[in-house]
Amino acid sequence: MFLVGLTGGISSGKSTVSSQLKELGCPVIDADVVARKVVEPQSPAYRLIVQHFGREILLDNGEIDRQKLGQIIFSSPEKRKLLNSITHPEIHKEMFKQILLYFLKGYRYVILDVPLLFETRRLTRFLTHTVVVYCDPATQLSRLMQRDGLSPEEAEQRIGAQMPLKEKRGLASHVIENSGSREDTHRQVLRLHTKLEDSMEFLVVRAVAVAAVAGLGGLFLCTVRLLVS
């Protein structure tokens, strides 16, 4: 099994592409979903976030107010870095658990839907392919303002807090151009899906894994023989 990283920018259409891949039967691990899981009340990350950001960021039911926390970190690079240092290790641990499960089920590849894939770079060394969902700056700004009801200044601030899409595009092995219609995007997703399905790279990865397991098994048997002889 090999890993495919899917990323983009805020309001570039990454969620649309992720949903289309799921509809095609691709296994997708969504880092945002995992991120919400690891900060559930009384989890280790939750306690550290409350410790550093205060109880003012909590809703009445004790859960973290993501909108309020987002306002804090988007206006402060230092606080954004602090939050990432708390949540990212927990997110990655949970993602690797899910990857292992898909591996045991025999999937050829798994797509990791990660918004900050290139910003953190913690996962890129494990990926065989990287996919960026791109749209032009004007479209991105317009979509974000409409989606979240933001002013142009607020939207630009949130976009500016991320690596520019143009830079991400240059780092990716595949690009989905999402400035046009949904149908055009879907055609590109279908081409990507076909390319991944036809790839034989999973055989190499699985052979290495099997060899490693076999090697460990042989080492274990040799140890047992030495102990009982």
pLDDT of residue 52: 96
Q: Which tops the pLDDT comparison, 173 or 213?
A: 173
Lowest mean pLDDT among 19-23, 29-33, 107-111, 203-207: 203-207
Q: Which tops the pLDDT comparison, 85 or 219?
A: 85
Which parts of 4-151 fold into alpha helices (H)? 14-23, 31-38, 44-53, 66-74, 77-104, 117-120, 137-148
DSSP state of 55: G
Distance of alpha carbon 35 from alpha carbon 212, whole angstroms: 31
Band of the pLDDT at 131, cuts 50, 70, 90?
A: very high
Encoded tokens for 207: 């052979």
Q: What is the mean pLDDT of the chain?
A: 89
Mean pLDDT (whole number) for 124-144? 96
pLDDT of residue 205: 52
DSSP state of 174: E
- Neighbouring-strand partners of residue 110: 3
Percent over 90 (pLDDT), the chain: 76
Distance of alpha carbon 134 from alpha carbon 137, whole angstroms: 9
Distance of alpha carbon 2 from alpha carbon 198, whole angstroms: 13
pLDDT of residue 199: 81
By the 10 Å C-beta count (0-12 exposed, 13-18 middle, 19+ buried), 8 is classed as: buried
In the chain, the amino acid numbered 55 is R
Residue 40, CB-side half-sphere exposure with 13 Å CA sphere = 4
Query: In degrees, to the nearest 5, what angle opens at C-alpha 114 toward C-alphas 162 and 69?
Result: 55
Distance of alpha carbon 60 from alpha carbon 58, whole angstroms: 7
The contacts of residue 111 (CB under 8 Å, 6+ apart) are: 3, 4, 5, 6, 18, 21, 26, 27, 28, 29
pLDDT of residue 210: 52
pLDDT of residue 155: 94
